[in-house]
Amino acid sequence: MNIKYELVVVGGGPAGITLAKRLGNKYKMAIIRPEDYSMIYCAMPYVVEDLIEKKKCLKNDNLITGAGVDLIRDEVVSIDFNNKNLLLKSSGELFYDKIVIASGAVPFIPQIEGVNLEGVMGFKTQKDLEKITSFVQNGLKKAVVIGAGAIGIELAQALKHKGLDVSLVDLAQQVLPNLVGNEFAQRASEELIKNDIHLILNSKVEKLVGKNYVKEVHLDSGEIIYLDEFAPCTGNDNTTIKGLVIFATGVVPDLKFIPYNSISVGRQGIIINERMETSIPDVYAVGDCVQYNSLITGNVLGGKLATNAVPMARILADNLLGRKSEYKGFVNGAATKVYENYVGGTGLTVLAAEREGFEVVKAYSQLTTQFPIMPGKKELRLKLVADKKTSKIIGGQVFSGEPVTGIVDLISFAIQKEATAYDLLDLSYSAQPYQSFFPAGNIVVTAAEQIINQLEGIQN
């Protein structure tokens, strides 16, 4: 292949697809990705659970080709930034004027003893999904999920739903350590335990033991989780195991095709500026493969979320269209579902804020999701976090029997706009018996009021 494109994007995830949609009719453009399909990763646990079919998780290529962009199903093996060309695994060389690295991230699997045994895996690709579902369909009875963040929790519930005996292990003292503080984490833990998931916190996996396939998970507490008490099970790749060990312990940027020392890279990925420019002219990077900063502190912060990848791609598209646009940083609003409860968070938890040197003011507010007189009302709890010095909102967490992303997004927006607790007091809100608390109270305003009372030394 001896073609030259004006713009080449390495990667067909949410970042790459956003660029295709925005720039396809302005640039002679190609997207390179090895997979047959781009995936909706967020929905993968619900395919394991059998709630949705796998094919519903596969995105239509028309999102790319319909935007006038060539889709090259191949893998970039290396890039020569000096000569502006790249080498593809199957179809040779390709030239470009500008290139965007949007190669995402791969599961982080700690290199402990036994990680290469059969049955040990990460959870990211279509192949991972098909492997897990094939074992589940073929009668696998036991799984250990390592990492009690949102993905680990969602996967543990899905496997439990399919009848497996599931252990969920984390080295932190609470579940969802990057999302919420201890109170809401405790509620989430209670739900998991109530539903017979063996939750083991404060424990590090030291080694995995087995012969050919994994049989034991050894924790630093001395506890051993045995995986060989059930009958063997064969998966779609013809491997036979007695239990799965799935690492949901975060991701690391996928940069193996980037020549060593060619581009500035930090511990979280490719270093970019607010216009998504890398250290090399005409080379840009967006999404999970980059390193960027917290909007609140300005310090480097992990932010491997689709809801960060897409806005970064939008900002880059603006700049490539000649519109000056700058990315301000990660706020990291995110949410998950723990059985019948919805949990979300944004910005800094109290612990994270104190670690960053903030003197924190926090408020708890509790209302109902509908008028309290309505039969379908559910609980709604908010913890709001502000900086004592400036009264700016720096975090919030929500726990409810109804979806929480609306409130999480509202607080994220307050953080992005550097709103203070006083600004939130002015929030103009709506109310209706089925959809909110009484007009007399809005959960965000109620929490802001409490913050202001503390700032002004007024007793609640």
Reduce the secondary structure of 320-344 to three states and give it as a string: HCCCCCCCCCECCCEEEEECCEEEE
Contact 71, 65 (CB under 8 A): yes
Q: What's the distance, CA 255 to chain centroid?
A: 19
Q: Is 45 exposed, middle or buried (0-12, 13-18, 19+ CB in 10 A)?
A: buried
Determine, following the binding rule CB under 6 A, whether residue 305 of this chain makes contact with ligand FAD.
yes
Q: How many residues bind ligand FAD (CB under 6 A)?
A: 32
Using CA atoms, how far residue 450 sits from 272, 292, 386, 391, 440, in Å, is: 39, 33, 11, 12, 15
Find the shortest distance in angstroms from Cβ 289 to ligand FAD: 6
Contact indicator for 369, 402 with CB cutoff of 8 Å: yes
Cβ of residue 381: shortest distance to ligand FAD, in angstroms? 21
Q: Considering the complex, what minimum distance in angstroms separates the CB of residue 167 from ligand FAD?
A: 19
Does residue 241 interact with ligand FAD by CB under 6 A? no
Cβ closer to ligand FAD: 124 or 392? Answer: 124
Selected range binding ligand FAD among 33-41, 205-213, 358-366, 403-411, rule: CB under 6 A = 33-41
Q: Which of 288, 387, 402, 449 binds ligand FAD (CB under 6 A)?
A: 288
15 sits near ligand FAD (criterion: CB under 6 A): yes
Compute the least distance from the CB of residue 424 to ligand FAD, in Å: 24
Check residue 58 for interaction with ligand FAD (CB under 6 A): no
| DSSP 8-state symbol, 149 | S
Residue with Cβ nearer ligand FAD (332 or 370):
332
Rounded Cα–Cα distance for residues 99 and 10 (Å): 8
DSSP for 337-391? EETTEEEEEEE--HHHHHHTTPPEEEEEEEEESS-TTSTT--EEEEEEEEETTT-
Does residue 230 bind ligand FAD (CB under 6 A)?
no
What would the two tokens of residue 297 be?
A: 């502190």
Closer residue to ligand FAD, CB minimum distance, 241 or 290: 290
CB within 8 Å of 46: residues ≥ 6 apart:
52, 154, 158
Q: Does 76 bind ligand FAD (CB under 6 A)?
A: yes
Q: Which is nearer to ligand FAD, 114 or 147 (CB)?
A: 147
Q: Does 250 bind ligand FAD (CB under 6 A)?
A: no
**Interatomic CA distance for residues 343 and 394, integer angstroms:** 18
In the list 27, 123, 284, 371, the residue contacting ligand FAD (rule: CB under 6 A) is: 123
252 binds ligand FAD (CB under 6 A): no
Footprint of ligand FAD on residues 151-180 (CB under 6 A)?
Answer: 151
8 A C-beta contact, residue 262 and residue 256: no
Task: Report whether 329 contacts 298 (CB < 8 A).
Answer: yes
List 5, 13, 269, 394, residue binding ligand FAD (CB under 6 A): 13
- Residue 131 is a binding residue for ligand FAD (CB under 6 A): no
Tokens standing for residue 437: 């608390």
Q: Of the candidates 67, 306, 425, 445, which one interacts with ligand FAD according to CB under 6 A?
A: 306
404 touching ligand FAD, by CB under 6 A: no
Sign of the alpha-carbon torsion through 294, 299, 305, 308: positive
Residue 16 binds ligand FAD (CB under 6 A): yes
For binding to ligand FAD (CB under 6 A), which residues are involved?
Answer: 10-16, 32-35, 41-42, 44, 75-76, 102-105, 123-124, 151, 254, 257, 287-288, 304-307, 309
